[in-house]
Chains A and B, each alone.
Chain A
Amino acid sequence: MRLRYVARKVGWSLLTLLFVLSANFFLFRILPGDPLALLARSQRLAPSALAKQRAIFGLDQPLPSQFVTYLHETLTGNLGVSIISGQDVASLVASRIWPTVLLVGIGTGLAAVIGVLVGIRGGWNRGSGFDRGTLYGSLVLYSAPEAWLGMLLLIAFAGTLGWFPAGGYSSGTTTGLGQVADVANHLVLPVVTLALGYVGQFVIVMRSSMLEVKEAPYVEVARAKGLSERAVRRGHVVPNAFLPSFTLIVLSVGFILGGAIVIETVFSWPGLGLLTYQAIQDQDYPVLEAVFLLSSAAVVLANLVADLAYGYLDPRIDEV
Chain B
Amino acid sequence: MRSGGRLRASAGALLVVAFVAASVPGAAHAADSASPAASAAPKVLRIGTTTAIDNPNIWAVNSTTEWEALNLQYDMVMKFGDTDLNAAPSLATGCDHSADFRTWTCTLRSGVKWSDGQPLTSKDVAFSYKFAIDKGFSLFSGYFPDGTTFSTPNDTTLVWKSPTPTNGPMVPAWAYVVPEHVWSKYLGASSKQITSADVVPVVSSGPYQMTSATPGQNWTFTRNPNYWGTAPAYDKIVYQLYTNQDALVQALKNGQVDIADALDGSVLPALQKLSNVTVNKVVSDWWVNLAFNFGGRGPGLPALQNLDVRKAIEMAIDKQQIVDKVYPGAAAPGQTIVRPLSKFWHLTVPTDKAIPYDPAAANALLDTAGYRLGPDGVRVDPKSGQPLVIRMPVSDDTAGSDGVGQLVAGFLKKIGITVKVQPVTAGKMYDLQQSGDFDAYIWYWSGDPDPNYQLSVFTSDQCGEGLSDGCWKNAQYDTLFAQQQTTFDQTARKAIVDQMQQLVYDQVPVVVIAYPNAIEAYRNDHVTIADRVPQPDGYILPQYSVDALLSAHPPAGDVAVDSSPGLSVWAWLLAGLVILGLVVFFVIRGRRSEDDLDRA
Listed in ascending order, the chain A residues whose CB lies under 8 Å from chain B are: 31-35, 37-49, 52, 56, 81-82, 84-88, 92, 95-96, 99, 151, 154-155, 158-159, 162-174, 177-178, 180-182, 184-186, 188, 225-228, 230-231, 234-235, 264-268, 270-271, 274-275, 277-278, 283
Contacts and interface: CB of A to CB of B under 8 A. Distances in A.
A268 B243 CA distance: 5
Interface in B349-368: none
B136 interface: yes
A106 to B, nearest CB: 12
Given A159-B254, A168-B240, A268-B244, A185 B445 contact: no
Contacts of B253: 159, 162
B134 interface: no
Contacts of B57: 86
Contacts of B424: 32
Nearest to A158: B250
Given A31-B427, A85-B54, A167-B247, A235 B597 contact: yes
A172 B238 contact: yes
B479 interface: no
B566 A185 contact: yes
A171 B564 contact: yes
A182 to B, nearest CB: 7
B184 interface: no
Contacts of B25: 162-164
A86 B44 CA distance: 29
A258 B161 CA distance: 54
Nearest to A80: B192
Interface of B: 22, 25, 28, 44, 46, 52, 54-55, 57, 59-60, 62, 136, 138-139, 142, 190-192, 195-196, 212, 214-220, 236, 238, 240-244, 246-251, 253-256, 397, 424-431, 443-448, 453, 465-467, 562, 564-569, 571-572, 593-594, 596-597, 600
Given A85-B62, A227-B600, A171 B218 contact: yes
B397 A38 contact: yes
B431 A170 contact: no
B596 A166 contact: no
B238 A171 contact: yes
Given A37-B427, A40-B430, A46 B216 contact: no
29 contacts: A32-B431, A38-B430, A41-B444, A41-B446, A43-B62, A44-B139, A44-B447, A46-B138, A47-B467, A56-B191, A86-B192, A158-B256, A163-B566, A164-B565, A166-B247, A167-B242, A167-B248, A167-B250, A171-B256, A171-B562, A172-B217, A172-B240, A181-B569, A184-B567, A185-B567, A225-B600, A265-B243, A267-B247, A274-B216
Contact of A34 (B236, B427, B567, B600): B427
Nearest to B192: A81
Contact of B217 (A47, A170, A283): A170
B430 A33 contact: yes
A181 B572 contact: yes
Contacts of A178: 28, 569
B246 A46 contact: no
Nearest to A45: B138
Contacts of A44: 139, 446-448, 453
Given A46-B467, A268-B241, A164 B566 contact: yes
A164 B566 CA distance: 5
Nearest to B243: A268
A46 B142 contact: yes
B138 A49 contact: yes
Given A85-B55, A95-B215, A163-B566, A42 B446 contact: yes
A41 B427 contact: no
A172 B218 contact: yes
B572 A47 contact: no
B427 A283 contact: yes
A268 B242 contact: yes
Contacts of A266: 243-244, 247
